[in-house]
Amino acid sequence: MNIVKTLAVAAGLATALSSAVFAQSLEGKVIGFSQIGSESGWRAAETAVTRQEAEARGVDLRFADAQQKQENQIKAIRGFIAQGVDGILVAPVVATGWEDVLTEAQEAEIPVVLLDRGVDAPEDLYLTSVASDQVEEGRVAGEWLVDNVGDDECRVVELQGTVGSTPAINRKAGFEEAIAGHDNITIVRSQTGDFTRAKGKEVMEGFLKAENGGADICALYAHNDDMAVGAIQAIKDAGLQPGEDIKVVSIDAVPDIFSAIAAGEANATVELTPNMAGPAFDALAAYMADGTEPEKFIITESKLYTAEDDPQGEYDRRKDLGY
Ligand code: AHR
């Protein structure tokens, strides 16, 4: 089973590829992909899957790494327009500031598909958006905490994703929604770790110092697994046991968090499939074949994993998949 098929199964995706569309329409097409960068294991896997999906379909993929900068993404998209590509994929680093460049793509009649993050722009400026329900991801993480804390007082520290990105905004909102009405659970500190392991560790070190060496922290909620993995190291360096002294819940389901769960150092993660490109290419293929308009929002699944879900097996299943 190749990486794409394995990921689709692992994520429980029912993408239901139409073989006619798959074989027919994207062979020889040129598709530009403006990727955010490589801030996390999940991002690396999304890039790997996109390349593999493109290759399987005979797509000429033009890849541009924006190094986390929106200006680089806008430049790359303008470059794709100038090259006259057949379609554009973009994973938008932040939500705002896209209207002009999306309008330019529309005027050039180049369909744009958003991957894994949203934009604050009129919906008619893109063909479709393939992403998770990020509010739901936060809600699932928050509900896990509510169920596992009971009536005990629980002071939570939060590592947010990139400021201004839709996953940071929505995962925060979903988590807050889940803990609302549970007055024993409060977020006492919240700061961005920019979705990176290094920043997650650094910010967690500050949280630990500010919270009585960590003794006053009951749980960490991280908007992605990489920040959680960095924070777990900080917790260990502070002489505490992550997963026990401080509960750890995060989002993505990358192999390293399954290692941590298997070792009892993390408690729960919410899966985000890295296979955004499969549904995106399907939508582009159908649109290019006969103008079929896809659903405006194609939503991927958000499944919770804990120590009860064979974390070592999940690690083994994912470790060679591009993360
Ligand atoms: O937009 C998806 C998020 O971006 C992933 O959860 C995170 O790991 C990545 O940086």
Contact 116 CB / ligand 1 (< 6 Å): yes
Q: Rounded CA gap, 109 and 258, in Å?
A: 43
Tell me which residue of 97, 110, 103 sits closest to 66, measured CA to CA.
97
Atom of ligand 1 nearest to the CA of 39: 10
252 C-alpha to center of ligand 1: Å? Answer: 7
Q: Find how far residue 245's CA is from the centre of its chain.
A: 27
Low-confidence ranges of the chain (pLDDT < 70): 1-24
User: Does the beta carbon of 258 sit less than 6 angstroms from any atom of ligand 1?
Assistant: no
Residue 223 Cα: closest atom of ligand 1: 6
CA 263 to each of CA 2, 104, 117, 171: distance values in angstroms, whole numbers, following the listed order:
28, 50, 31, 26
Q: Provide the token pair at 51.
A: 């390349």
Q: Does the Cβ of 57 fall within 6 Å of ligand 1? A: no
Token couple for 209: 């110092």
Which of the 8 DSSP states describes residue 246?
B
- Give residue 24 CA to ligand 1 midpoint distance, Å: 32
Determine the residue of 65, 90, 195, 197 to mutate for testing ligand 1's pocket, defined as the one with the most ligand atoms within 8 A of the Cβ atom: 195
Rounded to whole angstroms, how far apart are CA atoms 11 and 148?
25
pLDDT tens across 18-52, in order? 444 444 589 999 999 999 999 999 999 999 999 99
Q: What's residue 25's pLDDT?
A: 83
Residue nearest to atom 3 of ligand 1 (CA): 167
Please give the distance, rounded to the nearest whole angstrom, from the Cα atom of residue 156 to the centre of ligand 1. Answer: 21
Pairing of the two strands 219-222 and 247-252: parallel
Question: To test the ligand 1 pocket, which listed residue (224, 257, 318) has its Cβ within 8 A of the most ligand atoms?
Answer: 224
Q: Write the pLDDT tens digit of every residue in 136-158.
A: 999 999 999 999 999 999 999 99
Which strand (E) or helix (H) includes residue 155? Answer: strand 154-160
Closest atom of ligand 1 relative to the 254 alpha carbon:
8
